[in-house]
Structure 1
Amino acid sequence: MSRPRVHRRCALSLIELLAVVAILGAIAAIIVPRIQITSGAAEEAACKHNCKHINIAVDRYMLDNDGTPPSDIGDVNTIYYFPSGIPTCPVSGSAYALNSTTGHVESHPATHP
């Protein structure tokens, strides 16, 4: 005679489900702050790159105008220097300003958090 087959249910118990949720929560608690730190560092790096890019455009402007520095940042806001417009700070969204003496972006305004 054959034995009757016992059907087992293939499902997760409540304890197994809670363990999975706890593990996913721990992973999220580790990853989310790191993503936020990384995006802030990327925005700071982009801001420094924008300053350098503007200074290169100012140097080109001075070469084209016999060494005369631009009076304000609007002088280099042309299609020749910035085809898609002068960039703004990715951290604060503010516009960059030129130093009136040197004609370059010396440093970004203290609007970064």
Structure 2
Amino acid sequence: ECIREVREFADFIGSTGQMYNRVKNNTTLENEFCIGTEKGLMERMAQDFPNKIFHLISEKLLCYNMKKNTIELMRYVLDHLDDPMFEVKVPPEIAKKALKPIEKMLEYS
């Protein structure tokens, strides 16, 4: 989700869960972390690990669509899976192309 130069500069690249666990399981003397992902993860880690220092690389790293999700909305969707409103149709040629990044993402999770 970022350009090659940024990835090459990073000490670690991983999924949200992997980033969280890397901070959680860090046993080195290093206690400062630069976070290059959605602001909410950094805020959660700052709350969960108050003895560590976090730097967000940009205040613009906020996913407004993810902030719209709530437990109530998820429960509603799961209770209404048969509702055509929640059906997503993708042309086969697009689905085939979309499968590659999804598989890559799952490799990292």
TM range (shorter): under 0.3
Higher strand proportion (structure 1 or 2)? 2
TM-score norm. by structure 1 comes to 0.21
TM-score norm. by structure 2 comes to 0.21
Between structure 1 and structure 2, the one with the greater Rg is 1
Report which structure shows greater RCO (CA 8 Å, sep ≥6). 2
